[in-house]
Structures are given as structure tokens and as C-alpha cells.
A and B are shown apart, each in its own frame.
Chain A
Amino acid sequence: MRRVRRPFLWWLALLAVLMAWPLVASEYRVFQAGVIASTAIMALGLVIVTGVAGQVSLAQAAFSAIGAYGAALLATKLGVPAYFGIPLAAALAGVAGYGLGLASLRLGGHYLALVTMAMTAIVQVGLTHWETLTGGALGLMVPPLTVAGKELTSGFALYYVVVPVAFALFLGVSNLMASRLGRVFAALRQSEVALQTLGINVLHYKALAFALSGALGAVGGGLQGLQTTFLDPHGFGIIESVVLVAVIIIGGFRSIPGAVLGSAVFVLIPELLGGFQAYKGVVWAVLLLLMIVLFPGGLAGAGAALAARLRPNAGAAR
């Protein structure tokens, strides 16, 4: 795997731009950017488990449900504020993810897809039928995030909550993926057998990849709950899991910035379609198919290929 130590200054510059941009952008754009950021956090989890570690996961919507419902219920039933509730829910999702990873002991690609799919479906059935707790099919209101007595509800205020969190998580994950752990994950995808011969506990690391993706899914789900202010079991089904897989495919599969690119495409597609809103799902699915068949590297891969063509010598370093 390519090891890039991204210069610290670049990250700082990016953070400065992200923090300054809302001051000159419209409220609606800022809200959209916040949604892109929370979607990208969920997608980041998938980049780890599916992109890097090569384990198909259709459980990401279930994890984001754990985050969204978990944080909202902690707030309404126990009065736990969201800044504690979301990390707690993320920890729970992490444990659930670890368990799911352990259960996947003997499972190859297809069966893993089926089990994670079933997990999403079971969580969704639970959300729909445990009406006294979750509000069932009627849905659940998410109490607003309150900091120092002030309710943060505007897209502008939430942007300054979600985007710094996303920034920190992306920075953390990109460092993690360049570390020993990241290399073990990449090796899981390439050859489990080789890892075993090196005395590495494959099962533990597989479970760890799922745990990380679960925790990230829950953080993203919890934050998005604050943005949408309303939860409905329909928003956390198998289709939503597939959509998140599509986000990372379109963005660039193993690419960490790809998670942001894919999320941006997903959030902005409805806008490009104008009066043809009914077709947004089709456009999305066809885009996904085109990417798979024609550009397996996704947007990030297409960008990298372009950059390599412009600077022929840089390509050789890989």
C-alpha cells in the first residue's frame, strides 16, 4: 500500500477553508455541506471495512440507525445530551460491529453480504415494531442539540458541529490507514492466508474493521439525525445500505477523500435533475453501474489517473 504522510499544513489549510466558507455561502448550501459531511462519515466507515479490508457490508444503515435512534432515545428518555449520546451510541455500534465481525468467522463474500443484509433487516423490523420505544412506523422526533443553554438547530450552527467532527474523523482515519492497522486491513483484503502465516489473528482484525465501521456509521447517523430532526424506520433499510455502498464506489472505493466525493454526488444529484426528481434513484443506480463497469476506481480513481497522465513521472512512484 502507498504510504503518504500528508503535510500537516495542507490539513490546516483545508480546515481554515472549511471554517471560513459558511461566512460567504448561502444558508442552504451550508446545510447541504453539513449533510454531505454526515453522509461522508457513514461512508468513511464503509471505506474501512469494504474498501480497505475487502469485507462486503450491507449493515451500514443498521449502524447509522443505532447512532441516530440511540442518541435520540438517550436524549428523550434519559436526558443525555447529544454530545454524550452520539459517542455512547457509537460505542454500542462498535460493540455490535465487533460481534458481527466475529460472527462472520467462516463467511466469504456472498454469505457475508447476506448476513449483514439480514442484520439491517432485523434492526429495521425492530425499529418498526417496538413502537413503545421507537415510535414505530410513525417515526421519532430528534431533540435538538443543546450547548450551554442554546439550541443548535440552524444548518449554519450544525455545520460548525458536524464538519469539525467529520474533519477530525477523516484526519484520524487517514492516519490510521497509513499505520500498521491500516496495512493489516489492506492485507485482509489481499490475502487472509498470508496474514495467518504471519501469526496475525485474522478474525480479531476483521471484527475490528467492522467495529470501526459501525462506530463511524453511528456517529454519521447520530449527526444526520440532528440535521433531519426526524427519524423513520424507512430511512434505515437494506436499500439505504446499498446506497452507502454506492457512495463509496462512486467516490473511489478504497479512497478516503472518495467518501466525501461520493457523498457530495449523492447529496447534489437531486439538484442537477431539476424537475425530474422522480428519476433521482434511477440516475444514481445507473451512475453506479457505469462506474462499476467502466471506471472501477470511482471518481477519486479517475482523478488520480488524470493526474498521473498530466505528470507521467509521478505515476511511476506508485
Chain B
Amino acid sequence: MLLPQILLSGITAGAVYALVALGFVLIYRGTHVIHFGLGEQVALGAYLVVLIQLYLPIPFWPAIFLALIAAGIFGFIIERAVMRPIKMQPILVQIIATLAVGLAIREGLRAVMGPQAWPFQFLLSPVPQSFMGVHFAWANIAIVIAALLVMGALYVFFAHMKLGRAVLATCQNPTGASLMGIPVPTIVSSIWVMASVLAAIAGILLAPIVTLSPEMGLIGIKGFTVAVLGGFTSLPGAVVGGLILGVIETAAGIYVSTAVKDATTYLLLVLIIIVRPQGLFGALAVKKV
């Protein structure tokens, strides 16, 4: 198969992985916890759209808008009800708490929506088109464009808006930030809200091209891999890591086999963590005594 084809398919997947990874990086930088349940929040985002359309007679786009708000509220609740009370517990306990959040979402979805797959609407036409020998669908282009728009919005938010800069300051040095009058607890809440909304966006973009079932939360592992590739603290790193993983995975699926495609992510994750734990772009963090 053609290289441009692989690049195009890889970038489509990679753009979504990057969105998930951005959520991980945000939460990690803001709270020094990796949220192992974020993958499940990706699935939840897509399910929320389905749920809202089941119970409210409204069209697709307003349903998406409502789902994003609901996802944000959900992130807020997780932070307030679970993560904040155990903030002072050992990191082990916090990791297990995020795993438990993921398990609760996944099992909740399975109980309420059933284990079967749900159909999910494409943002644009999924009919394959052809341009200079490269096959594509407008739906996939829409995914890339939407992901780029979100990343652009994040960039503007962090570089030019007061709240964004407060978030960055909190990530860098919570004590210093609070001395400068930044309400750190509120900022931490807003980080969880943002990451949850990002996850929901990723879920809504991804649901049409993968199967929308409770298993969709496993996308989280791709997000981890991407975040680790990018160094886990770098927002641009997450974006580049996403594209790299998307392309590598697609290439492995085409040139080797689908079994290898499944394993690529995991092997890459282990390899990077063992060989280059600081990621491709991160600086090596020396553990202090």
C-alpha cells in the first residue's frame, strides 16, 4: 500500500490519540497523578451523546454540546468526590482510585447500556473518496480538523488567556501559584473538567470509526503510550507522539498483521518506558531523595 495512504490513516487515528494524551498530560502536570480511568471517560463521552439522544428529542449537534457539558460536570465530580479527599494518600492509593473510577464508568456503561455495540453518527460523510490514488473519507478529514481545532484552542488558551496561564502556573508550582493569588483548588478542578471534556471530544470523534462498546475505554492505553512517547509533561510532545503512534500502528497493521497491530502499542509502551523513560522530548527527571 502507498505511503501517503498509511500517513493519512495513521494521522487520523493519531490525532484522536493525541487528544486523549493531552488529557493525561494535563491531569498529570496539574496533580501528579496519571488518571488511569481517562480511557473510560473517552467511551463515556460518546455514550453520553447516545444517551441524550435516546431521552431528549434533539438533533445530533446540540446533543454533542450537552454531552460535553455533562462530561465536564462528571470530571468535576470525580475530582471533588474521589481525588481531593485522597490527595495526601500515597501515590499507590491514588493510582488505584483512578483505576477504580475507570472500572466504575466501564461497568456502569455495561450495566445501563448493555455489552453490545451502539451505532454512532459520523460528523461528515463516511463514503470513501479518492484523490490522486489516495482513498479518504470526509469523516476522517473531519476528525483531523476537529482535533487540530481543539489543539489550536488549547494553545491559545494556555499562551494567551489568563485562566490558561493560571493553569500552567499551578502545574509548574502550586505553592508559588497560590502565593501569587491563584486559587489552586479551583484550578485543579478546572484541569479535571478540561481533561474530561477533551476525553469526551476524543470519544465523539472516535466512536464512529471504532465500535462504541464498553470495551472502547481500552483506548486509554493508546493515550498512555502517546503521553509516554511525548514525555508525559509536554503538551506538544503529546501531539507529536499521537501522530507517531498512529502512523506506526497503521503501518504495522498493513505490513505485518493485525495481531502485531494490537501488540505494537503495548510493546512500544514497554520499550519506551525501559529505554527512554523521559520520552522523546521530555527532560530526564531525576528522583530526589
Contacts and interface: CB of A to CB of B under 8 A. Distances in A.
Given A129-B259, A279-B111, A249 B103 contact: no
A115 interface: yes
B91 A109 contact: yes
B104 interface: yes
B93 A289 contact: no
A285 B277 contact: no
Interface size of B as a range: 35 or more
Interface in B233-289: 259, 262-263, 266-267, 269-270, 273-274, 277, 287, 289
Given A115-B273, A121-B221, A286-B104, A296 B267 contact: no
A111 B110 contact: no
A114 B104 contact: no
Contact of B277 (A106, A239, A246, A284): A106
A296 B92 CA distance: 12
B66 to A, nearest CB: 23
Contacts of B36: 113
A23 interface: no
Contacts of B95: 56, 109-110, 113
A289 B82 contact: yes
Nearest to B217: A239
Contacts of A54: 90, 92
Interface in A68-114: 103, 106-111, 113-114
Nearest to B224: A114
A278 B287 CA distance: 44
A289 B110 contact: no
B99 interface: yes
Contact of A118 (B102, B103, B221): B221
A109 B106 CA distance: 23
Interface residues of A, number: 43
A292 B277 contact: no
A125 B103 contact: no
B111 A239 contact: no
B107 A110 contact: no
Select the residue from A103, A110, A111, A193 with max chain B CB neighbours within 10 A: A110
A243 B274 CA distance: 26
B80 to A, nearest CB: 11
B34 A296 contact: no
A160 to B, nearest CB: 34
Contacts of B274: 103, 115
B99 A245 contact: yes
Interface in A267-297: 278-279, 281-282, 284-286, 288-289, 292-293, 296
B167 interface: no
A285 B81 CA distance: 14
A221 B58 CA distance: 49
Nearest to B102: A242
A208 interface: no
A110 B232 CA distance: 11
Interface string A170-199: 000000000000000000000001000000
Interface string A198-229: 00000000000000000000000000000000
B59 interface: no
Interface in B94-141: 95-97, 99-104, 106-108, 110-111
B96 A292 contact: yes
Interface string B61-97: 0000000000000000000011001100111110111
Interface of B: 33-34, 36, 81-82, 85-86, 89-93, 95-97, 99-104, 106-108, 110-111, 218, 221, 224, 228, 259, 262-263, 266-267, 269-270, 273-274, 277, 287, 289
9 contacts: A50-B92, A109-B91, A113-B95, A118-B267, A118-B273, A122-B270, A281-B103, A292-B97, A292-B100
Closest 3 CB pairs between A and B? A281-B107, A285-B104, A129-B259
Given A118-B270, A239-B103, A293-B86, 15 more contacts: A54-B92, A108-B91, A109-B95, A110-B33, A115-B270, A122-B270, A125-B259, A129-B262, A242-B99, A246-B103, A279-B111, A285-B108, A289-B97, A292-B93, A296-B89
